[in-house]
Amino acid sequence: MRAAPVNHAASRQVVSPIQTSPIADAAGTQAAHPDNSAAASRPSQRTPVSARDRNMQRRLIDEMVTEDFKRLKTGHPNRLFGAGVSSLSHPALIDNFVAQMNAVNADWAEKSSEQKIEHFQNVITGHFEAAGMPPPRIKLMEPGGGRSGEFDSKTWSMGMTAENLETRSMAETAGTAYHESRHAQQFFMIAKYIAQEGIQPPHSKQIPDDILEKATLAVKESPMSPAESAEAASYHTSVYGADREKRNATLRNLALHTPARLLQTGAEFSNAKAAHEAALATLETYKGEQTPEFNERRELREQDRTYMGLFETKKTAAKEFNRALAATNAEKVAFDAAQKAYHALPEEADAFAVGDAVTAKLSVPAST
């Protein structure tokens, strides 16, 4: 799953709580409001991959099957394993995908969501079929939970939100597509690992029977190399093995501390800040209308019911400001911790690395 981008740089500002003692009239400032929204989605039909795209992928792999290429790595966080030429983490396949995206860059903005999905389906299917892997079906998905895309192993499909397809740059959208496609490849590697090692498949058909059958045939024809097996084992351990409870806890925490929740706490703080500033300004205006003696003598102020009412309103607003500030800071810490743990999962570290590599390469203008 690839999360929608969140802009919370402003929330890194340090803001001190407001003193609320009877003699203090202090004020503080801070604002941070990430935004995350998505439009409704609609179903889409799969388009058959063209023979041209399939043959191009096969030629690419046939030309580069050497031990040197198989030892190449992505240069990104997943440095434990060599990237075989059929892996979407291989630099050559990343560059090939980027080239296929740059080829449609000129009219990308004019394409509908369905047309963009059709392009992704053709390109991704070409990569997968050339490598002997079952490609995922790409479709529109409902927004929610801060997601911009998600691979579902049970249906062997990957979804992308309309918001992602319609409002974000091609670089961001392509990065999401590649990220989720890499998850599909990871799960096929898990299926192959299960077949090769004779491990019990996950319950409830979390990987479809036909995918397990294709994985079994794949390892019979060409057993997994030690490097590929070790990589697949790391994903299996994380998703279905010894670390699955840790992963599930990470995902539950991620679902709890969402961009929407961070936005909500930021909005509550903004309201509390505005209320405190208004209460403070009203109090200061009233004080400015009084005599110098009134402002110098505390006992005179304490005898003035209007002043004391305004002071109590300001004091209550300051307490709410401090509460909202603490809640916002706590949520920011929790959100960052949830994201960090999520990105550290083996399958996510790998998928983010390749997806981010695609986004970075497409963010640089193509040479002419």
Q: What is the 3-state secondary structure (H, E, C) of the chain?
A: CEECCCCCHHHHCCCCCCCCCCCCCCCCCCCCCCCCCCCCCCCCCCCCCCHHHHHHHHHHHHHHCCHHHHCCCCCCCCCCCCCCCCCCCCHHHHHHHHHHHHCCHHHHHHCCHHHHHHHHHHHHHHHHHHCCCCCCEEEEECCCCCEEEEEECCCCEEEEEHHHHHHCCHHHHHHHHHHHHHHHHHHHHHHHHHHHHCCCCCHHHCCCHHHHHHHHHHHHHCCCCHHHHHHHHHHHHHHCCCCHHHHHHHHHHHHHCCHHHHHHHHHHHHHHHHHHHHHHHHHHHHHHCCCHHHHHCHHHHHHCHHHHHHHHHHHHHHHHHHHHHHHHHHHHHHHHHHHHHHHHCHHHHHHHHHHHHHHHHHCCCCCC
pLDDT at 312: 98
Residue 12 lies in a domain: no
Residue 275 lies in a domain: no
- Whole-angstrom Cα distance, residue 92 to residue 69? 9
Residue 137 lies in a domain: yes
- Work out how many domains the chain is built from and give that number: 1
Q: Are 190 and 239 in contact (CB under 8 A)?
A: yes
Q: For the chain, how big is the Rg over CA atoms in Å? A: 27
pLDDT at 246: 98
Query: Which residues make beta-bridge pairs with 159?
Result: 139, 150
pTM: 0.76
- Whole-angstrom Cα distance, residue 257 to residue 26? 32
- Whole-angstrom Cα distance, residue 351 to residue 358? 11
List pLDDT tens digits, range 182-239.
Answer: 999 999 999 999 999 999 999 999 999 999 999 999 999 999 999 999 999 999 999 9
- Whole-angstrom Cα distance, residue 122 to residue 139? 13
- Whole-angstrom Cα distance, residue 90 to residue 228? 13
pLDDT at 357: 96
Residue 145: which of 275, 221, 227, 251 has the closest Cα?
251
Question: Is it the case that residue 286 has pLDDT exceeding 50?
Answer: yes
Residue 20 lies in a domain: no
pLDDT at 187: 98
Residue 291 lies in a domain: no
List pLDDT tens digits, range 325-364.
Answer: 999 999 999 999 999 999 999 999 999 999 999 999 999 8
Query: Which residues make beta-bridge pairs with 138?
Result: 158
For residues 279 and 55, the model is more confident at 279
Confidence band of 30 (pLDDT split at 50, 70, 90): very low
CA 184 to chain CA centroid, Å, is 17
b/e map 230-260, b = 16+ CB within 10 Å: ebbbbbbbbbbeebeeebeebeebbeebbbb
pLDDT at 163: 93
Q: Please report, as a single letter, which amino acid is at residue 123.
A: V
**CB burial class (10 A; 0-12, 13-18, 19+) of residue 313?**
middle
Residues in Cβ contact with 149 at an 8 Å cutoff, skipping those fewer than 6 apart: 1, 2, 141, 158, 159, 160, 161, 164, 176, 177, 179, 180
Residue 27 lies in a domain: no
- Whole-angstrom Cα distance, residue 224 to residue 231? 10
For residues 183 and 18, the model is more confident at 183
Q: Which range among 18-27, 88-97, 149-158 has the greatest average pLDDT?
A: 149-158
pLDDT at 367: 61
Q: Are 260 and 36 in contact (CB under 8 A)?
A: yes
Confidence band of 243 (pLDDT split at 50, 70, 90): very high
pLDDT at 281: 98
List pLDDT tens digits, range 50-106.
Answer: 455 444 444 433 433 333 333 333 334 344 344 555 789 999 999 999 999 999 999
Confidence band of 250 (pLDDT split at 50, 70, 90): very high
Q: Are 160 and 37 in contact (CB under 8 A)?
A: no
pLDDT at 87: 86
pLDDT at 66: 35
List pLDDT tens digits, range 41-51.
Answer: 333 343 444 45
List pLDDT tens digits, range 288-320.
Answer: 999 999 999 999 999 999 999 999 999 999 999
Range of the domain at 173: 51-255+345-362
Question: Is it the case that residue 147 has pLDDT exceeding 90?
Answer: no
Question: Is it the case that residue 267 has pLDDT exceeding 50?
Answer: yes
Residue 271 lies in a domain: no
Residue 75 lies in a domain: yes
